Structure 1
């Protein structure tokens, strides 16, 4: 069984959703919304000195961090699930490109947003502008990604991959789904399709419930 350090509504949900689709046993060993303060981060630092989620502990006790790395590793361990283009496949390069783009360009913005004082110190007067600028940057990055893709049933064609799960989860965060639909219309139907997967219906309700704050 895989063990996960996670938190509802956060990045580890993508890992959990993929494990649900793979029908692989796992448990959320530690629930730690690290953005809520030092007490929560302290639950994670023994396995990840960065005090960040997600963390996956393998059946052999190996610790893996970084969401994209975990997702890629899982596709290698469970190729029967067919959730990644195989090496040499025509869509492999773009798969790797966008799996790297999300944490580098989008996910990284939330380190600032969760605690603006990390960048602005005690100058609270600049917090609103910082939050607005990071939201705009995230929206811009989604728009760039959308402009480079021609989705079919899923982002890279007819076959679902972990990239679809990754985008579906991340697109629920700030600036929210309504804006995501506006700036990334090509990807909009794909994330709606993943939202509606029968295999994940109960999972979404449990770990990232639908609500009007992000859907539109």
Structure 2
């Protein structure tokens, strides 16, 4: 009953791997470093036609793609882990809102940002503008989330959820944590708590070391 995660160091597979670690479910990672080359993107195409990670293969053999969908599915498959407010919980709407927000408004921008030539070809000036504008858009979106939430120890209050894992990982990407803390200081405190979870200490060190550029 082992899960298979198609992923890569520091990538969108990391919150999925972190969730599986906290759940205690057996899993293995097959590395597809899609941010590194076209060859890697082609290699994962048979598993995910969008040519990106993460993808999750369930113990039953079903393949699920899209990081937010995988995280939501895992919380339903493993409710005993308590990593999401259940249906009917007053926090459920906020949980679903911010999971979708991070996925649609922030994470989706990295498809453009990571390889600007996908939209503007070899125009170097246009590529630079895309990187600058997406960086500011990402920061602005974190600011919106900051203004619309009232975090406690974690985003939804006292209890950790996959929303916290998702936020903590995506906020490590550019424009990096320094900018994140500027525009979302209260969420930044939550992210620091997730970084420091003792049950994930070994995992972070192995799969997404928090050092160097990631600190901003």
TM-score with structure 2 setting the length: 0.98
Distance in 2 between residues matched to 1:212 and 1:203, nearest whole Å: 17
What are the residue-to-residue correspondences of 1:28-177 with 2, within 5 Å?
28=29, 30-177=30-177
Gaps (5+ residues) in structure 1? none
RMSD, matched Cα: 0.8
Shift of 1:213: 1.1
Question: CA deviation digits over 1:7-54, x for unaligned, max 9?
Answer: 0001000100000011110000x2111122221012211111110110
User: SS at 2:28's partner residue?
Assistant: strand
TM-score, structure 1 as length reference: 0.98
The answer for unaligned runs of 5 or more in structure 2 is: none
Report the Cα distance in structure 2 between the residues aligned to 1:42 and 1:123, rounded to whole angstroms.
24
1:166-189 Cα distance to aligned partner (Å, 9 max, x none): 000000000000000000011011
**Mapped partners of 1:64, 1:130: distance in 2:** 30
The corresponding residue for 1:14 is: 15
Deviation at 1:118, TM superposition (A): 0.8
Q: Distance in 1 between matches of 2:41 and 2:212?
A: 29
Distance 2:100 2:34 in 1: 23
